[in-house]
Each structure stands twice: as C-alpha cells, then as structure tokens.
Amino acid sequence: MLVVMRADATREQIEAVIGRIKSDGYDVHLSTGVERTLIGIIGESPTPLREDNYSTMDGVDQAVRVTSPFKLAGRNFHPEDSTVHLKGVSFGSRQKIAVIAGPCSVESREQIIETAHAVREAGATALRGGAFKPRSSPYSFQGHGELGLEWLAEAREQTGLAIVTEVMDPALVPMVAQYADMLQIGARNMQNYTLLNAVGVSHHPILLKRGMMSTIEELLMSAEYILAQGNWNIVLCERGIRTFEKYTRNTFDLNAIPVLKDISHLPVIADPSHAVGKWEYVEAVARSAIAAGADGLIVEVHPRPDEALSDGRQSLTPKRFKSMMEQIRQIAQVIGRGA
C-alpha cells in the first residue's frame, strides 16, 4: 500500500503515519518529493492493512493499494492454466471448446428430454436447465424444484450429457449436487457469500457467473471465496453487464475475456444469450467470444421459443443452434483450437 500525503502535510502528520505503520508491524519506505511525501508500506504482518485506517489520518490525501486483492485466483500464485473436468467434458485452454446448451427453465419432462437430444445431436457437450429460477417477480414461474432435477438426470441418462443447473439456497447445495455435474452460481448471487462458502465446501465443479453489476476484480474475489474453501473446480462466465444502453438486454463485456484469461488461470466461458438478449444476435456474439479466446459457451436453446416460460426472446431453436455450432468450430480452428 502507498500513502500519499497532502501537499500541505506537516512533519508531525507524516510521523504519525509512520508510527502507525510500524505499530501495525510493517516497514516504511519514504519518498520525499518537492511537492508531496509518499510513504510505502511494505513487509508482512499479521495485522491486516486497511486503506481506510490510513486515508482518515490527518494530512493524508489518499491510500492506494498496489497489489491485487485476489491471491489463489491469480497467475502469480498459479501461473499455469487450470482445467475443470466434469463427466465427459473438460473446460480449459488446452481443451476443445465446451458448449453447454439447453432451455432457461426445465418446463416439463418432455421439453428437457427433447432439447437434450437436439443439442447433443448438434454438438453440445453439456445440458443446462433451471429447476430453481431467480425471478425478479414473486408471481413469475419459479421452477419445478427437485422434480426438475429428476427430469434433468433422466435426460443425462438418455444422452450422456453432463448436467449444469443453478443453486440458490445454501441449504440445498448437497441435494442439488446429488443430481448436477456442475453447480451454477447465477449473476444475482455472485456476492451471496453464504452460498459461495457452501459451494466451496462441496468441492463440486462450479460455474460462476459474473454479476450484472460486478467488476472483473469482484468476480475474481468471489472465485477466491470458493477457492479459499479448497474447491478449485471453477469456471468463470461473462454474461453481460448493465449499462445505459437500452437496445440490448445487457452489454456483453467482450474485453473481460482476454483480461480474465490474462490475469487468472481459471477457465472462462461466455453466455451470449443473456449478453445480448435477442436470439437474432446470439450467433454473432458467440463467434466473437470464441474469437477473443473464450474456452466455451453457455447458450439458451428451446425447441419452441415462443412457448418458453422464460427467456424465449433470447433462445435459439435447435436448428439455429446447429448453425451456430458450425460457425464456432471454424472460428475455433482459426485460433488453433478444436470445438
């Protein structure tokens, strides 16, 4: 951390800062400039460093952190790319592009089984489907719960596709983990720390979606919660952020893909369906994600989008999805990957 003193800071104020650093158990490196004094805090100590403790002292202009707040999620700690393995599919930079596809909600046994066969036939490597749905209205369809999980398990039995599904309640993590091959933490729960701790303890593979209001750094800090519990099976997912633009449902933060691949070792996938929110643009966004270096995709596919109980506006038909998969394979080849 670096403490920047005000131009008019007195010698006593500077010494008070130095005194505090020492009493916190750290070393001081002083830079006395013409205009200002800069005080570097270095070394190690059991006392945690808090910017606020220094920025509130008299004569201090600001206290600036100069190291990343995440450790286990970063490349400093773990330089090599990680790989996450599920039943029959792997996520990572040395793997083929992994594509999770399926409906927003599991609506019926027939719907999920029909979709599972369709997406497997088109080349998907895992099946998505929500049994517990986070809806902004309490009056909207909230999912079929454990019954939906049973139907997903039956779809897996018939197609061999791994199952990815969301968990919202920390108390239900063990139950959902009995059915699912990968637990999804949804965007609204990215900073639900009780839930992050619960899935961290479970050691099950996790799909961690970026919150619509969260920075790249906060996404990595949420991964850090899970890693700190000893669960290293985390795949990150960029799914669009909230901005002032209204024409699309969210703004796909394409930049986040090369950034996350650079500063973290964790696999990164993209969700083009939520990122743009209109099915006619999903293929273009999916191509761009792979071209930018994503390790996979999660895509909403519904056999009859106009009958969907949720997210029909952004769901591909199986036919469109198949066309998307062909485009993805070609882009993947250009950047030296299989799909």
Q: Is 141 in the site for a copy of itself (CB under 8 A)?
A: yes
Q: Tokens 């599991």 identify what position?
A: 106
Tell me the closest approach of the beta carbon of residue 191 to a copy of itself, in angstroms: 4
Comparing CB distances to a copy of itself, the nearer of 40 and 85 is 40
Provide the residue type at 43 as one letter. Answer: G
Q: Is 9 in the site for a copy of itself (CB under 8 A)?
A: no
Beta strands 84-86 and 27-32 are unpaired
Q: Is 77 in the site for a copy of itself (CB under 8 A)?
A: no
Candidates 10, 23, 56, 323: give the one binding a copy of itself (CB under 8 A): 56
Tell me the closest approach of the beta carbon of residue 215 to a copy of itself, in angstroms: 6
Provide the residue type at 323 as one letter. Answer: S
Ranges within 83-122 binding a copy of itself (CB under 8 A): none
Please report how many Cα atoms fall inside a 13 Å half-sphere around the Cα of residue 71, on the Cβ side.
Answer: 3
Q: What does the alpha-carbon distance between residue 222 and residue 191 come to, in Å, rounded to a whole number? A: 6
Tell me the closest approach of the beta carbon of residue 239 to a copy of itself, in angstroms: 12
Write phi, then psi, for 323 (nearest 5 degrees): -65, -40
What would the two tokens of residue 251 be?
Answer: 């703004």
Candidates 106, 126, 308, 325: give the one binding a copy of itself (CB under 8 A): 308
Q: In b/e form, how buried is each residue of 173-205, taking b as 16+ CB within 10 angstroms? A: beebbebbbbbbbbbebbbbeebbbbbbebebb
Q: Is 338 in the site for a copy of itself (CB under 8 A)?
A: no
Give the interface segment with a copy of itself, choosing from 117-125, 145-153, 158-166, 219-227 (CB under 8 A): 219-227
Candidates 11, 12, 46, 52: give the one binding a copy of itself (CB under 8 A): 52
Q: Are 218 and 309 in contact (CB under 8 A)?
A: no
Candidates 118, 127, 131, 168: give the one binding a copy of itself (CB under 8 A): 168
Q: Are 152 and 129 in contact (CB under 8 A)?
A: yes
Comparing CB distances to a copy of itself, the nearer of 267 and 305 is 305
